[in-house]
């Protein structure tokens, strides 16, 4: 295939990636054709196929971008702290920043719609591996917080970590259908409930309330 005339291939690729990320987030893999993708990106179909040889590779790129956004807002923030309780603060604050990210404003529920084809199994496996790693990281964090005696965590931290992942999904799946303020309020309520239920010292629960209120206002 002859390369289409493109005065700025870097910007063209970025437009394609941005359009694909939004489209897959709204409609899922099956809901978007390459013809529609080219239209959404404002490029010719030839230009689209020059940068991405298939819809599968475009979807894999979009999935990696989604994972990168989650990592940057939530798990990188956790990694910046060393104290387990501070890490939990950082996780909730990171979730607030996540729901405010303009790249997610049109919704990302489409990434949880199972494609009807096996062509994207590799991309789905990447998503599942990320969720498993995230669950393990949260489980370890809860174990460490329990070991400090700052938090009282009864039962299986593995089950609680999986519940956290489900809560995160419940928060982000309606993105694009509710206001950012509503999503932030949900994060704050969940954080308050967590610390009120598990903080051994009443002062920690109060500090959590103050800390999370400050995070919301910043």
Which residue reads 């990696």 in tokens? Answer: 64
Q: Is residue 7 part of a domain?
A: no
- The count of structural domains within the chain is 1
66 in a domain, yes or no? yes
In a domain, 116, yes or no: yes
Cβ proximity of 74 and 91 under 8 Å? yes
pTM: 0.85
Q: Is 37 helix (H, G, I), strand (E, B) or coil?
A: helix
Let me know if residue 47 belongs to a domain.
no
pLDDT (tens place) for every residue of the chain, 218 residues total: 444 545 667 889 999 999 999 999 999 999 999 999 999 999 999 999 999 999 999 999 999 999 999 999 999 989 999 998 889 989 999 999 999 999 999 999 999 988 888 788 888 888 899 999 999 999 999 999 899 888 888 889 999 999 999 988 988 988 888 888 888 888 888 888 888 888 888 777 777 777 666 554 44
Q: Is residue 178 part of a domain?
A: yes
- Sign of torsion over alpha carbons 32, 35, 41, 46: positive
User: Phi then psi for 30, rounded to 5 degrees?
Assistant: -70, -20
How far apart are the C-alpha atoms of 206 and 192, rounded to whole Å?
Answer: 9
Q: What is the pLDDT of residue 218?
A: 46
Which runs of E-coded beta strand occur in the chain? none
- Residue 118 domain-assigned? yes
Task: Note whether 28 and 117 are within 8 A (CB).
Answer: no
Tokens of 73: 């807002």
pLDDT for the residue 213? 66
Structure tokens at 54: 């298939």
Domain boundaries, position 94: 55-217
Evaluate whether residue 128 is within a structural domain.
yes
User: Which H or E run contains 175?
Assistant: none
The predicted structure's pLDDT at residue 214: 52
The CATH number that applies at residue 114 is 1.10.357.10
């Amino acid at each position: 295939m002859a390369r289409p005339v493109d005065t700025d291939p870097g910007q063209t690729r970025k437009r394609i990636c941005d359009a694909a990320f939004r489209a897959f987030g709204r409609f899922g893999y099956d809901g978007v054709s390459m013809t529609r993708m080219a239209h959404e990106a404002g490029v010719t179909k030839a230009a689209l196929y020059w940068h991405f040889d298939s819809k599968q590779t475009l979807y894999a790129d979009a999935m990696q971008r989604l994972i990168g956004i989650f990592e940057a807002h939530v798990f990188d923030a956790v990694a910046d702290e060393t104290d387990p309780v501070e890490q939990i603060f950082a996780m909730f604050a990171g979730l607030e920043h996540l729901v405010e990210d303009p790249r997610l404003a049109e919704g990302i529920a489409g990434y949880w719609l199972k494609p009807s084809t096996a062509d994207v199994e590799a991309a789905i496996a990447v998503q599942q591996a990320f969720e498993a790693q995230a669950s393990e990281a949260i489980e370890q964090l809860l174990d460490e917080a329990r070991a400090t005696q700052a938090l009282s965590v009864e039962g299986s931290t593995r089950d609680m970590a999986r519940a956290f992942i489900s809560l995160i999904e419940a928060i982000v799946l309606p993105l694009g259908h509710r206001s950012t303020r509503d999503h932030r309020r949900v994060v704050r309520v969940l954080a308050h409930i967590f610390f009120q239920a598990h903080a051994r010292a009443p002062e920690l629960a109060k500090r959590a309330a103050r800390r999370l209120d400050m995070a919301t206002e910043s």
